[in-house]
Structure 1
Amino acid sequence: MQQLPYILSIKDRLINYHNRLTAFWSSLNLAQRCYFLAIITSFIYLFDNAQSNSLLALLTVLVLVAMVSEFWPRFIQVWDSLPGKAVILLFYAFVANYALVQASGLVNDITGVSADNLPYTHNFAVLLSIPIWFVITSLVVLLIIQFSIPVYILCLLLLRPFGLHTLWHPPGYSFPIITGFIRFGAGLFLLLQLALLTTYTGTLYGVSQTMLNVVGGIETGLTINVIESSDQDLAVAIKEQPELERTLSELDEAKAQIDQNASAYENKVKRILANFIFDNEADARSRCEHRTDTRVIELNDYEILEIEKFTTADVTSYRYQVKPCISAAVGHEFKARSITP
């Protein structure tokens, strides 16, 4: 019976902690709740010996949802203004133009002719590339905005003595400075995940090539520094030569892996486009003479693109040849030359 007050005090403490935690959770908005859950998930991931990929994926989703939920109202606010619409449309027009150029280059690499002769394939290539570019560039812009947070936090600290605690937040926004630091760290984490995604999956070949140039520049800088160093520095470099060679070897392996993944992704896209050209855009019948096992695309009144399909060991490949159009009205002179011994 003497322990009853002690048991009740523990219960009261638990109720108090529960009420405080409930009040704290109620004071947070959606983004802050996601950040809070992301912090808990990150601790679980760090102390998890298996380093589960599902925890990493959950952490990435929580951070992404938090940032998008904060960024979207600002985006709508900017979109409602005329200058904001102009800037946003100009940005996405640049992205769309780049996607058009990239799609045109892919079609030309496959067929050897201008993409203007294959409008449906060109449009299909654009549809394959535009979503990726739109998502990646939007995330990059979002992260660039997040990296201005230290300046924003500094402004909050400087203006705090004047009674300005929340510049761009509603009156009920809690913990603006702490949230700003967490948001900055989450932005770095999301940038790392984005770089790994685009680099090691090869979804953006241009990004992979940029990474290769950066890594190559690092190697060149290391080599130049070793060559141009003084005798004392050169002696130190020679002493640390095994470690330097190991670092350069790891960089070379990373470059090779990046190049391989990027090329594999580009080859997959080219195979999809090649199948689309042969199965959909090319004609099985034409006014121009061609072999029955080939398909053609009429480039103009006098030329055709003949496409021949090869299937060996479950590998499908295509051969593209530009030939003269031999029809009922034109091209017979080329046929006569081909027959004449």
Structure 2
Amino acid sequence: MHVQRYIKIAKWRANRQLKQQQMSWQERIRGIVKRGQAIWFNLSTAQKLYLLALTSLLVLQSGWLCTALTIVALTVEFWPKFNQLWHSLAGKALILIFYATVANFVLASASGIVNEVTMVSANQLNYTHNFATLIYLPPWALGITLVTLLALQLFLPLYIIFLLLIKPFGSDRIKFITQSYSPLLTALLRFVLSSVVMINIFAFVDGKAATDIVDDISSSFSQSQPLSVKPKEQQEQVIEQLSEQIEQHTEPKALDGQPSVRGDGGDEGDTEIANAVFSFIDTKGYFERSKRLIALFAYNFEANSYSRCEKSENSKVVELNDYEVVEIALDNSMPYGYSFIVKACHSPGIKPPM
């Protein structure tokens, strides 16, 4: 009887302790939930988007969703500041100078790309140069803007610390910090997410995976160290890698791997177009595909089907001057799917100089 009584008492005490622990855990969970709700409602819209971007990166492991949410958050956060800066005279001057610089770099870059693709000066192909500028303007503007915002994140924590240091001297600029919840942590999170955005944009432009971009960055940092400082084994590895890269660049590119469609007679034009489409699909990277689009634009829109100068069949020409033309034709053996050949203008009225 006494043993059963002791067992009942032990069970009652165990159940009581278990219920108390459950109640304490429930109270803690409620406290954590309330605390989380309070923090969530104290966050601004941009901070909530930053938190969602971080969650998508860590939980869903989706780099592009993180990139999209971060870009939206940066736009929501900095667009009012951009408008405020635009409404001041000094701000307008600063913004115009900034984007004028971007436009100058885009024009110069587009000119070089047109020259690389067509092998003639971009001044001779004005419409193609304008088309190349339109293609390269969005990535340049977005990239330089993101780099600028990323650089600002490095100085923002120092600026906030400076405001904290001057607060005892009666400075009212410390109100800048109270506008948002945990500004230092937000600045750190913004810097990390902006870095993720940059890596994903570089991956899209180069046609690589984000992990490959990270590996390239880490390898570039390691290779930036002086070779003489590294151990002998690492020196030999670096020399072997450099020799392999040189051999890859010096080897002639094989064209057998490209898909081709063969036809007979009247289907030759359709075959060339089909091969050009396959080559464009197989091309990786934004800039490499842009070069193919530039060559296609020059052939279809800049060049003329009829000319006073003699030309080959199924080709188009652009007159450089009275004596020279550039002949453009479909040629899948060329790097960008078209051949650009400068020829002398043979016409009934003008003979080329001897």
TM-score by length of 2: 0.67
Using the TM superposition, give the Cα deviation of residue 131 of structure 1 relative to its aligned residue in structure 2, in angstroms: 0.7
Q: Is the 8 A contact 1:309 1:319 kept in 2?
A: no
| Shift of residue 80, structure 1, vs aligned partner | 0.9
Secondary structure at the aligned position of 1:289 is classed as coil
Deviations 1:21-57 (A, max 9, x none): 3222111111222333345445536xxxxxx4x2x33
**Which secondary structure state, in structure 2, belongs to the residue aligned with residue 169 of structure 1?**
helix
Q: Indicate if the aligned counterparts of 2:157 and 2:187 stay in contact, CA closer than 8 A.
A: no
Counterpart residue number, 2:3:
none
1:93 paired residue among 88, 94, 100: 100
Count of residue pairs the alignment pairs up: 297
CA apart distance, 1:194: 1.3
Per the alignment, residue 286 of structure 1 pairs with 307
Change (3 A) 1:189 1:250: farther
1:60 corresponds to which of 46, 56, 67:
67
Which residue number corresponds to residue 226 of structure 2?
Answer: 222
Q: String of CA shifts for 1:234-256, please: whole Å, max 9, x gaps.
A: xxx6xx42245446767888999
- Structure 1 distance, partners of 2:287, 2:240, is 26
Residues 98, 162 of structure 1: alpha-carbon distance in 2 compared, 3 angstrom cutoff:
same
Contact kept in structure 1, 2:70 and 2:197, CA below 8 Å = no
- 1:19 Cα shift? 3.5
Aligned equivalents of 1:74 and 1:251: distance in 2? 47
Distance 1:276 1:31, change over 3 A: same
Give the distance between the partners of 2:173 and 2:85, measured in 1 at CA. Answer: 19
SS in 1 for 2:337: strand
> Which residues in structure 2 correspond to 1:286-305 (within 5 Å)?
286-305=307-326
Aligned to 1:322: 343
1:180 CA displacement: 1.9
In the alignment, is the contact (CA less than 8 A) between 2:304 and 2:318 conserved in 1? yes
What's the CA shift for 1:92?
0.8
**TM-score, normalised to structure 1's length?**
0.70
1:82–1:326 distance in 2 versus 1, CA, 3 Å? same
Deviation at 1:112, TM superposition (A): 2.8
* AA at the equivalent of 2:292: R
* 1:112-138 Cα shifts (integer Å, max 9, x gaps): 322222111111100111111000000
Paired residues of 2:110 and 2:132 also in contact (CA < 8 A): yes
User: Cα distance 1:200–1:222, how it changes in 2: closer, same or farther (>3 A)?
Assistant: farther
C-alpha distance in structure 2 between counterparts of 1:216 and 1:171, whole Å:
40
Q: Which residue of 2 aligns with 1:208?
A: none
Counterpart of 1:126? 133
2:37 to 6, 10, 22: 22
- Alignment of 1:241 with 2:232, yes or no, is yes
Structure 1 residue aligned with 2:268 = none
Secondary structure of the corresponding residue to residue 273 of structure 1: helix
Task: Look up the match of 1:116.
Answer: 123
Q: Secondary structure at the match of 1:297?
A: strand
The one-letter amino acid of 2:232's match is Q
Unpaired stretches in structure 2, ≥5 consecutive residues: 1-11, 208-215, 254-282
Cα 1:32–1:92, aligned 2, differ >3 Å: closer, same or farther? Answer: same
Q: Between the two proteins, what is the percent identity of the paired residues?
A: 33
Alignment of 1:125-274 (within 5 A): 125-161=132-168, 167=174, 169=176, 173-175=180-182, 179-191=183-195, 193-195=197-199, 197-198=201-202, 201-202=205-206, 219=223, 222-223=226-227, 225-226=228-229, 240-246=231-237, 266-274=287-295
Query: Which 5+ residue runs of structure 1 have no aligned equivalent?
Result: 46-51, 204-211, 227-236
Specify which of 277, 291, 294 is matched with residue 298 of structure 2: 277
1:29, 1:125 → 2: CA distance? 40
Please give the alpha-carbon distance, in whole angstroms, between the structure 2 residues aligned to 1:291 and 1:250.
45
RMSD of aligned alpha carbons: 4.2
